[in-house]
Amino acid sequence: MKRMIALLLLVATAVLAVPGTTHARLPYRTFYFDPNQSMWLRIQPIYTPAAAYTADFEEPVDLQVGADDRIYVADKGANKIVVLDNDGKLVRTLGEEDGPGRLSAPEGVFVTPEGKVYVADSGNQRIAVFGPDGAYAREYKKPDSAFLGSEHFVPVKLVVDRRGVLYVALNSSYQGLVRLSEEGAFMGYFGANKAQSTLLNWLKKLILNKEQLAKETAALPRPITNVALDDEGFIYTATAAGFGKGAIRKLNAGGVDALKNKTLVDGHGIVDVAIDRDGLLYNIDTESGQINLYDRNANALFAFGHIDNGTQQYGVLGFPTAIGVDGHDAIWISDSRSKTVHKYVRTAFGSDVLKALVLYADGNYEESKPYWERVYARNDMYNGTFQGLGKVYLHENDNDQALSFMKTAFDTDGYSKAFWQLRLIWLQHHFVALVAGLIAAYLVWRYGLRLIRPALRRRPPSAFWQRILADYRTFGYILIHPYNGFYRLKEARVSPWVTLSILAAVILVKLLGIYETGFLFHPVDTSQINVWSSLALFAVPWATWIIANYLVCSIKDGEGKFREVVQGSTFALVPYLAFSVPILILSHIVTLEERVLVDSLSSLMYLWLAAMFLVMTQVIHNFDFLETIKNSAITLFTIGIIWLFGFIVFGLSYNLYDFFYQLYKEVSFYH
Amino acid sequence: MDKRDGYRWTSNPTEEQLKQETVKGQLLSNLRSPFVLTFVKTQGADQTIRESLNAESPKTKTSLTKTETGLQVAYDFPDKQLGFAIQYELTADGLRARMPTAGIREEGEAAVFSLDLLPYFGAAKPEEDGYLFVPDGPGGLVNFGTKQADLSRGYIHQVYGMEVTNMGNWFRSGERREDIAYPVFGIKRGEHAYLAVMTRGADSANVAAIPPGLKSSYFNIFSSQIYREEYLYQMSRLAAPLKAIQKVRLDTDREVEYRFLRQADASYVGMAKSYRAYLKANGRIGEPLKPSDHAPIYIKMMGGNYRSAFNRVEYVAATTFAQATSIMNDLLKRGVAKPTVVYYGWQNQGDYKMDKRFPIEPSLGGGAGARSFVSDMRAKGIDVLFEDDFVWIDGNHSSASGKNDGVRGIDGTVYVEEGWFISKPAKTVAMAYDTIRKLKGIGAAGVLFNQIGEWVFHDYAGDRIATRSDTISVYEGLLDYAKRTLGTASVYRGNAYAIGEVGYIDDLPHESSFDFMVDETVPFYPIVLHGFVPYSFGDGNLRDDEDTEFLKAVEYGAAPSFFLTHDDSRKLQYTASNFLYSSQYAKWADRIAAEYAKFDSLAPLYAQEMTNHERLSANRYATTYADGTRVVVDYGAKTFKVEKGGGA
């Protein structure tokens, strides 16, 4: 009810919550990402706001957590670096004294593990370095290099690796990071983003001449927004825009992106990236207005927080500028709108679930068990638990549990493994019975029929039934002898009941396929399947084929009558009936490793079906082979035309209907 | 304005004090005025521009009249053709200020937008010792001494929440906060304090607490009376919404009572006691509770809810009546002595068709199952309440029509959000009466009303605005009817207008809104209510932070509650009840029994008033009760201790 409203809005947009009807616990919600459905679903808090510190900031634009868990904040407005301890108390400031160390509008800060502080002193167009004691040590000016040309040297963000090499992001530079040696020599550009190659650009290149091309704005790579470094020496770049494409890149020393330019969920408005001890990634995204957590492969895990330009609340960000994670897993975010640094701490639940996920990713399933169990005790809804615990049970050879958990999590890989084990055990116990059963079935089939046949012979069915039986025999015969079969069919006048019963059987098999296919090959919640549209997707092509085939072939001197086309097209479905049942049974027996069995059977079935329809066209209309191919192609084209026309008519009439419906609603309901 | 011991409460800083003030012009003259009137123009180009007037404005005519009880000051602004009057009256406890709606004169183009009453009454310098008391969550303090993060707005929030139907109120952001549940504010300066109770028209007032640096160098707190609202309206579905100001004025009297407190009482505890005394004197709070041998505990059961499947609606049953019976029997066996059951999701198809509640969902056991469950429980002395929502209606699948039954926003159109609309109070009552009568037949001991105790609204139907006050009086009538018919009526949150009628408040405000400005959260509202209405906070199995929230319930005198299902709550994942992250009884049985045992040690305090609350150290807090018993809660060690008092 009230919570219902909240849910509805959650689905629409998490931002536009109705006030007054929500009982705030925290000033924001927390979600987890369900990769099966590509959806954010709600969960209890992973992080809670701890405090917002104001050390008389004027415009905090960058933040770095030192190895000593001190927080280094670049205050652009106040021209200084502010150092806070882990409780937000002011330790010292850097760059305020007159002299060579005086900073001007610094926009970036980096702290080495030894405590040396590198400042992107943007106003002074240099990088200033302070020693661990806070004393000014040296500066890096624009290096003398022909490559840099006339470009202004306005450093905004930077990191420094273990060898002392600086990676500097210059103000809106699309060429990537500038690499400077410890001595200050230019070592080349590093890690530039790829230029966006759009279809339009490709077309332009194709059509326009050189002069025209020169007038076009060049498709430049997006500038790097922010940069971070992890303990292993990987350099992470954050790049906004591009709908999350390459929003976080994890670059090795050679500039190769370990994340392969992955599209990041909620990465379009990325501001900064941080990495914790466990390798989890943290991002603030202004587009979704949330802080996001990702695993090491940049798969989305959790999102929380809220961005509100007029914020007056702890944990709600105004204009976030940078993110950092300290040694206690607390998140620190500088916010230039509210002129504060926000701190968030992990909840007990958050610690458990993240620890479990990290152990899971490392393959330490046994170790992860107590964490997963604690998570499971507090949340039955989170899908990751089922995957995690499923893996644990799999590891413990508790395959029944594993199977059920994997199924709940829709994890087909895990399910397949558990199923393989269970099948093996079952086979070990029932092998003899299975073989005996198979032999018995074979014997019944082989000799049972022989027993029945005399009885049939003694009492032959009436002429009517004999005809019908003959039709069914033709149906079976067509499977192996399509030419002969269809000739036989062409002459025969098949009872409509036979045609209908075949169609009914096909639909029945289709329904069985929808609802009874094994989990591994159809991992969906069957209650949500729209049966009508599934059946329509199956039946409409078939029906349009009949119409198109008849129309095309009667123009092209085909002999077939409409009835014959219907009849033939029905009988041509025989491979579907013949193959679907074994596929259905196999889908319950095989694991993913053996899925090639099912897949090749399906492919075979479709090829066979296609062949059937070709042969049918050829025989019914009495074409030669080339004609058949040609006319079948035309038929397919006609099908396309019919559909296109159908879509247009449907689309227009739906628009018309919608217009009147909305008008009706507006008039009758709202006023 | 003098007081017994000669302490002067002044409506404004003195001229000497003002000499140090750095602000100029309008802001400075506001500091000298007992009011600030904001007005808009009803003619001309931009009618949303707000201007303000005060007693110092040129050409202001002031006339004083002595009345039987006090003094009436009428202000007239001839060039704006505006006027209004404030009536002051001295009372035994302090001062009463009233602004009758009949005294407002709008004869020209100007229209009253809002009126800040005594904005600098008791305003304090940051050097002083003391705090502002704001009604944030259970109570919030703004200390004069501490330095807060960047404040750009101050604390300005409407009592009982903003107007939901006004898109302009929430279009800016999805701000989530605790709505004000009780219409009071206060200030403490050294040995002295006052508590202001908004006694009339509170629902249309903002509580405004302003820190120094925004409008003056003072901390000040006051009520800002709302007469019109700015709203957004949509000309078409494609165009961006436009701003406009409500045409018709809210036609309600406003009154604020300032109650002066001294010495030991000059604190938030004293303020709470003073508010309690006010409520008692005016019959706004019920009878004291009767002592009990055991602590109460509220067991909520989620029957189930619907989810849409292909081509049908599927009711997912999580706890049938039979299962509920066995859960309760098991709890009794485990020593949970005095439970009350609240049953959710019992309506036919759950929330699906909210105007068709009966017959009770058959898959739970139907009417017969409900009846036998209730009588079974009654035999064991357990009350069963049924939860329901008669306010939000899902227009998508109910036969109720938004056109007839939905509340209208300022622009005159029915407010619809994703197909849901807000039921007019009359419709709410009609649905509730019917339901209450049918529940009576089943033997229910009461109804837990969703929404009723949480928020209110204006209904801008035609030229007459049915105000929040009207909504409140309808709701009071409904609660009273439910109480008389079934025995008890219960609500969530427990807004101040409801507390006289209700037998239980769930989810009483117990958390702050995480404002930069509010330094400390204190149990003001629990002090007011304890011993009169039992209340609970968040459910024990749905806590974000298990230990802290448990200890908070102990510190603030709340009853425990748990929200349970018989089956795995994962069943409800794709229903609206998916906030039940973990509710399976089997998972929680031990924890409930253990927690109940702890709460049971507080049973003797159940019917007592709280007399004091103090912070002993950073992590230790003590709550004292009428008989002298002290409950000391230690958040560091995660323990609590009951120190028996002399009177026990």
A-chain CB neighbours of B178 within 8 Å are 23-24
- Asked whether residue A207 carries a pLDDT value surpassing 70, the answer given is yes
B417–A15: do the CB atoms touch at under 8 Å? no
At A458 the pLDDT is: 75
CA distance A377 to A371: 10
Query: Cα angle vertex B285, ends B279, B291, to 5°?
Result: 125
A-chain CB neighbours of B546 within 8 Å are 348
* A223 upstream amide cis, omega within 30 of 0: no
The beta-carbon contacts of A533-536 under 8 Å, at least 24 apart in sequence, are A534/A510, A535/A507, A535/A510, A535/A511
- Asked whether residue B375 carries a pLDDT value surpassing 80, the answer given is yes
Q: Closest Cα to residue B316, out of B566, B503, B586, B612?
A: B566
A313–B402: do the CB atoms touch at under 8 Å? no
Confidence of residue A243 (pLDDT cuts 50, 70, 90): confident
Query: Cα angle vertex B603, ends B599, B606, to 5°?
Result: 110
> How does pLDDT run across B351-366, given as a tens digit for each residue?
888 778 889 999 999 9
A380–B581: do the CB atoms touch at under 8 Å? yes
Q: Closest Cα to residue A638, out of A552, A541, A537?
A: A552
- Asked whether residue A22 carries a pLDDT value surpassing 70, the answer given is no
- From chain A residues 364-403, the ones with a CB under 8 A of any chain B CB are 377-382
Alpha helices by DSSP H, listed for B246-320, are 268-281
> How does pLDDT run across B501-535, given as a tens digit for each residue?
999 999 999 999 999 899 999 999 999 999 999 99
Mean pLDDT over residues B402-411, rounded? Answer: 88
Chain centroid offset of residue B17 CA: 37
What's the CATH superfamily of B297-607? Glycosidases (3.20.20.80)
3-class DSSP state of A140:
strand
CA distance A523 to A519: 5
Query: Residue A46, class by beta-carbon neighbours within 10 Å (0-12 exposed, 13-18 middle, 19+ buried)?
Result: buried
- Asked whether residue B5 carries a pLDDT value surpassing 70, the answer given is no
3-class DSSP state of B450:
strand
Would residue B298 be called left, alpha or beta, if left means φ above 0 and alpha means ψ between -120 and 50 degrees? beta
Within 13 Å of residue A396, how many CA atoms lie on the same side as its CB?
Answer: 16
CA distance B620 to B286: 32
For A311-325, B17-31, B417-431, which range has the lowest pLDDT when averaged over its residues?
A: B17-31
Tell me whether B516 touches chain A (CB under 8 Å).
yes
At A457 the pLDDT is: 74
B161–A19: do the CB atoms touch at under 8 Å? yes
Tell me whether A38 touches chain B (CB under 8 Å).
no
- Mutation pick from B175, B351, B512 vs chain A, by most beta carbons of A within 10 Å, is B175
At A446 the pLDDT is: 83
- From chain A residues 152-171, the ones with a CB under 8 A of any chain B CB are none
> How does pLDDT run across B44-88, given as a tens digit for each residue?
778 888 889 988 888 889 999 988 888 999 999 998 899 999 999
At A6 the pLDDT is: 39
Query: Residue B540, class by beta-carbon neighbours within 10 Å (0-12 exposed, 13-18 middle, 19+ buried)?
Result: buried
Strand (E) or helix (H) holding B200 = strand B192-200
The beta-carbon contacts of A414-421 under 8 Å, at least 24 apart in sequence, are A414/A387, A414/A390, A415/A390, A415/A519, A415/A520, A415/A523, A416/A520, A416/A591, A416/A592, A416/A593, A417/A591, A418/A390, A418/A393, A418/A394, A419/A520, A419/A591, A420/A591, A420/A593, A421/A394, A421/A397
pTM exceeds 0.80: yes
At A16 the pLDDT is: 32
- Asked whether residue A130 carries a pLDDT value surpassing 80, the answer given is yes
A377–B451: do the CB atoms touch at under 8 Å? no
> How does pLDDT run across B97-141, given as a tens digit for each residue?
999 999 999 988 899 999 999 999 999 999 999 999 999 999 999
A23–B150: do the CB atoms touch at under 8 Å? no
- Mutation pick from A3, A37, A312, A528 vs chain B, by most beta carbons of B within 10 Å, is A312
- Selected residue with higher pLDDT from B228 and A13: B228
CA distance B266 to B135: 17
- Selected residue with higher pLDDT from B13 and A148: B13
How many helices and strands, by DSSP H and E, does chain A display?
Answer: 17, 27
Confidence of residue B309 (pLDDT cuts 50, 70, 90): confident
A340–B516: do the CB atoms touch at under 8 Å? yes
Query: Which chain A residue is nearest to residue B172, measuring alpha carbons?
Result: A308
At A54 the pLDDT is: 84
- Asked whether residue B4 carries a pLDDT value surpassing 70, the answer given is no
To the nearest whole angstrom, how far is the Cα of B406 from the nearest Cα of chain A?
Answer: 9
- Selected residue with higher pLDDT from A123 and B234: A123
CA distance B60 to A350: 61
Within 13 Å of residue B564, how many CA atoms lie on the same side as its CB?
Answer: 27
Confidence of residue B13 (pLDDT cuts 50, 70, 90): confident
Q: Closest Cα to residue A118, out of A105, A102, A131?
A: A131
To the nearest whole angstrom, how far is the Cα of B363 from the nearest Cα of chain A?
Answer: 18
3-class DSSP state of B47:
coil
- Averaged pLDDT of chain A: 88
In degrees and rounded to multiples of 5, residue B514 shows phi and psi of 65, 35
- Write out the CATH class of domain B15-281: mainly beta
- From chain A residues 64-103, the ones with a CB under 8 A of any chain B CB are none
CA distance A109 to A98: 19
To the nearest whole angstrom, how far is the Cα of A481 from the nearest Cα of chain B?
Answer: 41
CA distance A99 to A92: 17
Which residues, listed in sequence order, are joined to residue A340 by a DSSP beta bridge? A335
Tell me whether B149 touches chain A (CB under 8 Å).
yes
8 A C-beta contact, residue B545 and residue B569 = no
For A413-417, B34-38, B166-170, B634-638, which range has the lowest pLDDT when averaged over its residues?
A: B166-170
CA distance A537 to A521: 19
B151–A312: do the CB atoms touch at under 8 Å? yes
8 A C-beta contact, residue A201 and residue A157 = no
Would residue B420 be called left, alpha or beta, if left means φ above 0 and alpha means ψ between -120 and 50 degrees? beta
Indicate the residue of B403, B545, B582 with minimum beta-carbon distance to A379. B582
Q: Closest Cα to residue B337, out of B601, B541, B641, B566?
A: B601
A-chain CB neighbours of B544 within 8 Å are 25-26, 44-45, 48, 347, 349
- 3-state SS of A455-517? HHHHCCCCHHHHHHHHHHHHHHHHHHCHHHHHHHHHHCCCCHHHHHHHHHHHHHHHHHHHHHC
Q: Closest Cα to residue B97, out of B239, B207, B253, B248?
A: B253
> How does pLDDT run across A214-236, given as a tens digit for each residue?
777 777 888 999 999 998 999 99
B-chain CB neighbours of A377 within 8 Å are 582, 587
Mean pLDDT over residues A10-25, rounded? Answer: 39
CA distance A157 to A167: 8
List Cα–Cα distances, A252 to A161, A273, B401, in angstroms.
11, 16, 63
Report which listed range, A73-87, A486-500, A522-536, B153-167, is most confident: A73-87
Percent of chain A with pLDDT strictly greater than 70: 96
8 A C-beta contact, residue A146 and residue A100 = no
A16–B174: do the CB atoms touch at under 8 Å? yes
Structure tokens at A633: 């192609």
CA distance B144 to A261: 52
Q: Dihedral sign for Cα A548, A554, A557, A559, please.
A: positive
B172–A309: do the CB atoms touch at under 8 Å? yes
A19–B152: do the CB atoms touch at under 8 Å? no
> How does pLDDT run across A556-565, given as a tens digit for each residue?
888 888 888 8
CA distance A180 to A173: 16
Mean pLDDT over residues B409-423, rounded? Answer: 87
Q: For chain B, what are the domain ranges? A: 15-281, 297-607
Tell me whether B579 touches chain A (CB under 8 Å).
yes
Establish, for the pair of chains A and B, how many residue pairs have beta carbons separated by less than 8 Å.
199
> How does pLDDT run across A32-73, given as a tens digit for each residue?
998 877 889 989 999 999 988 887 899 999 999 999 999 999
Indicate the residue of B151, B174, B416 with minimum beta-carbon distance to A306. B174
Query: Residue B239, class by beta-carbon neighbours within 10 Å (0-12 exposed, 13-18 middle, 19+ buried)?
Result: exposed
CA distance B551 to B106: 54
Tell me whether B411 touches chain A (CB under 8 Å).
no
Indicate the residue of A8, A25, A306 with minimum beta-carbon distance to B544. A25
> How does pLDDT run across A588-623, given as a tens digit for each residue?
999 998 989 999 999 999 999 999 999 999 988 888
Q: Closest Cα to residue A474, out of A497, A450, A490, A462?
A: A490
Chain centroid offset of residue B520 CA: 19
Give strand ranges (E) for A239-339.
Answer: 248-251, 270-275, 281-285, 290-294, 300-304, 306-307, 316-317, 320-325, 331-335
How many residues are recorded in chain B?
648
> How does pLDDT run across B315-329, given as a tens digit for each residue?
999 999 999 999 999
Tell me whether A341 touches chain B (CB under 8 Å).
no
A312–B579: do the CB atoms touch at under 8 Å? no
> How does pLDDT run across B219-272, given as a tens digit for each residue?
999 999 999 998 887 776 677 788 888 888 999 999 999 999 988 899 999 999
- Asked whether residue A117 carries a pLDDT value surpassing 50, the answer given is yes
CA distance B104 to A595: 82
CA distance B533 to B526: 9
A668–B403: do the CB atoms touch at under 8 Å? yes
To the nearest whole angstrom, how far is the Cα of A523 from the nearest Cα of chain B?
Answer: 16
- Mutation pick from B344, B516, B517 vs chain A, by most beta carbons of A within 10 Å, is B516
